[in-house]
Amino acid sequence: PDGTVEIPVTVNVLYKGATQNISDAQIQSQIAALNADYNQLYSVPPIFDSLRASVGIHFALKSVVRKSTTKSSWSPNDAMKKSASGGIDATAPDSVLNIWVVGAMTGGVIGYAQFPGGAAATDGVVIAYDCFGTIGTATAPFNVGRTATHEIGHWLNLRHIWGDATCGDDLVADTPLHNAANFGCPAYPHLSTCTGTPVEMTMNYMDYTDDACMAMFTKGQKARMLTTFLPGGGRYNF
């Protein structure tokens, strides 16, 4: 695609108690954070400057669906995506990115995503209400909206930067090898012991570092994401 891809978004809020019924303003803060992260370049260590990408994807809030629930914890098993299991059915998932915001998930999961090519009814991403947006219930260290930035990376076919294995492959050529996931806010430079002992790109959105310490997608990740919008790609309808 040329220029900017426009993604309509529906946010499905499943709340147990008024606190979890996040405000429209908090939802808008998440949309604003996504538009910033997918279009702006932030400061990174100079060795990564030339790899940073403005992805050129714009997110537009189309609707908000709210539903009160008695469930305080959801398994990351898609129950929240079906009214038959107490959730909210997806809105037009072939052409709308559905985001479900839930109170909590079992095992401390803060978000998960469906990769391209899965069933339409369960397509989209799920995020815990205290890791969503940048105001209201958003809580440090997940209060800069980057759980959604990361999950939507998966939704657009990106793998974790460590390839989910020791020195694994994320199928992107310009991201360095990482030993494993990084957490918190690693001091620079954090050296990998993988082949070539590269400096790990701990500020990449597809690592597991804190929101405030994430700052970039690479050009290779951008290309992989945009491929999903081409004929035969899993997001061609968008």
Displacement of CA 125 from its chain's centroid (Å): 8
In angstroms, the CA 147 to CA 132 distance is 7
Quick note: the x/- pattern for ligand ARG over 105-134, rule CB under 6 A, is -----xxx----------------------
Tokens of 194: 């993988």
The CB-of-112 to Ca ion minimum distance in angstroms stands at: 22
15 touches, from ligand ARG, Ca ion, none (C-beta below 5 to 8 Å by class): none
Residue of 151, 200, 207, 211 with catalytic role: 151
Residue 150 contacts ligand ARG per CB under 6 A: yes
**Of 130 and 200, which has the nearer Cβ to Ca ion?**
200
Residue 58 bridge partners (DSSP): 6
**Of 52 and 146, which has the nearer Cβ to ligand ARG?**
146
Instruction: Please provide residue 80's backbone torsions phi and psi, each rounded to the nearest 5 degrees.
Output: -70, -10
Preceding omega of 189 cis (within 30 degrees of 0)? yes
**What 3-state class would DSSP assign to 7?**
strand
The CB-of-147 to ligand ARG minimum distance in angstroms stands at: 4
**Of 175 and 228, which has the nearer Cβ to Ca ion?**
175
Displacement of CA 75 from its chain's centroid (Å): 18
120 touches, from Ca ion, ligand ARG, none (C-beta below 5 to 8 Å by class): none
The CB-of-211 to ligand ARG minimum distance in angstroms stands at: 5
Size of the site for ligand ARG (CB under 6 A): 13
151 given a catalytic annotation: yes
The CB-of-150 to ligand ARG minimum distance in angstroms stands at: 4
Residues 6+ apart with CB under 8 A from 180: 162, 166
- Provide the pairing of β-strand 125-128 with 111-113: antiparallel
| Termini Cα distance of the chain | 11
132 touches, from ligand ARG, Ca ion, none (C-beta below 5 to 8 Å by class): none
Size of the site for Ca ion (CB under 5 A): 3
Q: Which of 15, 115, 188, 208 binds ligand ARG (CB under 6 A)?
A: 208
Tell me the chain's radius of gyration from C-alpha atoms. 17
Residue 172 contacts Ca ion per CB under 5 A: yes
The CB-of-115 to ligand ARG minimum distance in angstroms stands at: 11
Residues 6+ apart with CB under 8 A from 192: 167, 176, 177, 178, 179, 198, 199, 200
118, with CB counted inside 10 A (0-12, 13-18, 19+), is middle
Which residues are at the interface with ligand ARG (CB under 6 A)?
A: 110-112, 142, 146-147, 150-151, 208-211, 214
Which residues are at the interface with Ca ion (CB under 5 A)?
A: 170, 172, 175
